[in-house]
């Protein structure tokens, strides 16, 4: 039964007490608003669909971000990046709002404001964090009444995927300007296997089987291990590497690979080529060798064919040759 009392000149206090439900209290500016709220809550209780909202109303996004940092982020693979995204969100006004008060308009404002200073992909990743927090809060943190406002707004429009491939002669020029034999081996291995920079840097000698012509990656971006088949050229490259005390095949860290690669491109006069483009190049070459999408995906580690498509760029002139 709802009890509505006037508080001062401009407020109406409404309290609902019903057996088997927690007490619900809210203050309104008009009696009509208080009566409408009471009728709605009592109807939900009667139909068995009521979800308490006090927790969501009294907990700010900032508090949820802190809880997310302590409970969820440690379980994620790329937790340093996740921490960075959380800390960025905490610096914005939206973090001060109660979870129950955040609407799609607030998310859209955050999206548009961030879009003025960072790339659309960055904004999308930050919105994904906020969305995840709302879902966890609803399912695990006692905020069942929440809806996810991120799901109601437009996602930032991502730029067209890169289609940069190696032009004729660029690979030779690049290898001529590398600072070390090791970097040259890494570049060639990336083109042969479609392995990511971090996967190459973390490759362990014990996970390379030259007889079976395979290697196992246990530390991948999506958290799942995969077995990569090796071409004859890849076997030759890996056979040339002496054993290291650390157990790793290569001695370069991921960031060092990128920096050395960029310097080599500059010396070779190669514009707009990133190390990650070698993964695009490798995936495209696998298709050009006649492998089907499932076979290529098993090598590259892509979980969906849509993502694989973003990494594959077949030259029209090569396709024309197949047409006869």
Point out the residues that are catalytic.
Answer: 196, 221, 276, 279, 302, 311
The CA distances from residue 84 to 52, 87, 112, 126, 137, in Å, are: 32, 5, 20, 10, 20
CA–CA dist 101, 62 (Å, integer): 13
- Taking residue 198's Cβ as centre, other Cβ atoms within 10 Å add up to 17
HSE (side-chain half, CA atoms, 13 Å) at 203: 26
**What is the distance of C-alpha 100 from the center of its chain?**
25
| Closest-CA residue to 51 (of 142, 138, 144) | 144
Find the helix or strand (DSSP H, E) in which 14 lies.
strand 11-16
Q: For residues 130, 136, 141 and 147, what is the CA-based torsion angle, rounded to 10 degrees?
A: 70
């Amino acid at each position: 039964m709802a009890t509505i009392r006037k508080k001062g000149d401009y407020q109406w206090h409404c309290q609902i007490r019903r057996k088997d439900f927690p007490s619900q209290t809210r203050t309104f500016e008009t009696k009509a608003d208080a009566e409408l709220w009471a009728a709605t809550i009592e109807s939900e209780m009667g139909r068995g669909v009521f979800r308490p909202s006090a927790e969501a109303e009294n907990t700010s996004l900032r508090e949820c971000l802190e809880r997310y940092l302590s409970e969820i982020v440690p379980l994620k693979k790329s937790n340093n990046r996740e921490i960075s995204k959380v800390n960025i969100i905490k610096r914005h006004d939206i973090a001060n709002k109660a979870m129950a008060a955040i609407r799609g308009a607030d998310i859209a404002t955050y999206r548009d404001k961030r879009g003025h200073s960072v790339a659309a992909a960055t904004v999308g990743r930050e919105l994904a964090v906020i969305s995840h927090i709302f879902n966890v809060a609803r399912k695990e943190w006692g905020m069942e009444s929440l809806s996810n406002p991120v799901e109601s707004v437009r996602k930032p429009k991502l730029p067209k995927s890169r289609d940069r491939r190696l032009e004729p002669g660029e690979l030779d020029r690049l290898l001529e300007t590398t600072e070390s034999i090791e970097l040259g081996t890494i570049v060639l291995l990336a083109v042969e296997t479609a392995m990511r920079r971090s996967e190459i840097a973390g490759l362990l000698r014990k996970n390379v089987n030259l007889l079976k012509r395979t290697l196992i990656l246990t530390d991948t971006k999506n958290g799942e291990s995969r077995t990569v088949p090796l071409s004859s050229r890849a076997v030759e490259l890996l056979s040339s590497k002496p054993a290291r005390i650390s157990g790793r095949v290569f001695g370069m860290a991921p960031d060092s690979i990128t920096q050395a690669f960029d310097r080599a491109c500059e010396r070779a006069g190669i514009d707009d080529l990133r190390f990650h483009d070698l993964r695009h190049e490798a995936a495209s070459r696998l298709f050009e060798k006649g492998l089907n999408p499932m076979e290529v995906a098993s090598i590259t580690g892509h979980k969906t064919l849509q993502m694989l498509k973003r990494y594959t760029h077949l030259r029209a002139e090569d396709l024309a040759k197949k047409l006869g």
